[in-house]
Amino acid sequence: MDEEAVAVAPNGQEDAPTGAPLPILDEPDKPSIYAATIDDIEQAAGRIAPHAHFTPVQTCRSLDQLAGSRSLFFKCEIFQRTGAFKFRGACNSVFALSEEEASKGVVTHSSGNHAAALALAAKLRGIPAHIVVPRTTPQCKVDAIMGYGGKLHFCEPTMEAREEACARVQAETGAVFIPPYNYGPVIAGQGTIALEFLAQVPDLDALVVPISGGGMISGIALAAKALRPGIKVIAAEPAGTNGAPDTALAKMAGWVVPCARTDTIADGLQGRLGSLTWPVVRDLVDGVVVVDEAEIVNAMRLIMERMKLVVEPSGAVGLAAVLSPAWASGHVTRECTRVGVVLCGGNLDLGAKGFWDMWLPKSQQAQDED
């Protein structure tokens, strides 16, 4: 397989990777009816305005230079409520429910940013949020979900167990299931990022968006292309240590191909494209830049050192893409000089890596080890 084609996969169809494809989610030549429209996104913006933050855009001259003298503009979703963009989609989904639907609450299965976001959105509306999480979920995430008012339901750490537990809670409570990305109101909520970004920096050449299940980039692409048809929307994706960039492979093949779960430090980007997000990614995302683990870590370090901002690995993948050789050489991206980068989340678990221990006196470190 051609390495450059994997690194930057344009809209044009190419030979499919080896292996039997999954069923095509939508015929390539059939006009798509997407899960959200620009009207839906604008309505979502009004719906979430009383609750969500209008996040700032920041710049950094030293990062501009490292990016080949491009002008980079960072949309700081790290400052969104719950520390990630996910609150937009969760908030729109919760407040779009009818009074009858909302009265029985909402439910989801997640141990990440979506869980906390849905818990907070439900709390703001005054309804229950049932969150199914694996029993192996780190305590810091459990504490965050509980802190936002979520009602926890533990299960075994498998997708089958999560789905079964979620279905059981839904059957018992009548709660409305709110998926993390493959859901129209979630996609519309995430699209409000683009409305804000293009109001703040109207003359961007490209928007770079980390991709997982595709909810964020779908909403952003739908909004951005409606407002500025010529803007490039670029997905930033980790290859992982097992070389599994499913979006890049899908874009080249024209369908969602079989692919292992990506083994990556960017654990928020391990989802798979859904039936509602894939058509948007297929049609409106102009390219995919794939980055490795070292590039992600380097981008995190640069953001923290140069911008003094805390980002989780998933949140740094956009900058990693812009700084990568694939960006400089890709025919879709190399001419883009004013680039918007979404810093999608800042929920970094510093304690998990023993970060704070190294600052303690050696005598205290020894006590802690005992």
- Active-site annotation, residues: 86, 111
| Residues 6+ positions from 326 with CB-CB distance below 8 Å | 4, 7, 8, 289, 290, 291, 333
8 residue type, one letter: V
**Residue where the block lists tokens 């909004």:** 223
Strands (DSSP E) found in the chain: 57-58, 71-76, 106-109, 129-134, 151-155, 176-177, 206-210, 232-238, 287-291, 338-343
What's the gap between Cα 257 and its chain centre?
20
The CA distance from 297 to 253, in Å, is 29
Residues 6+ apart with CB under 8 A from 287: 8, 9, 10, 11, 232, 234, 235, 251, 330, 332, 333
Amino acid at 184: G
CB 78 within 8 A of CB 225: no
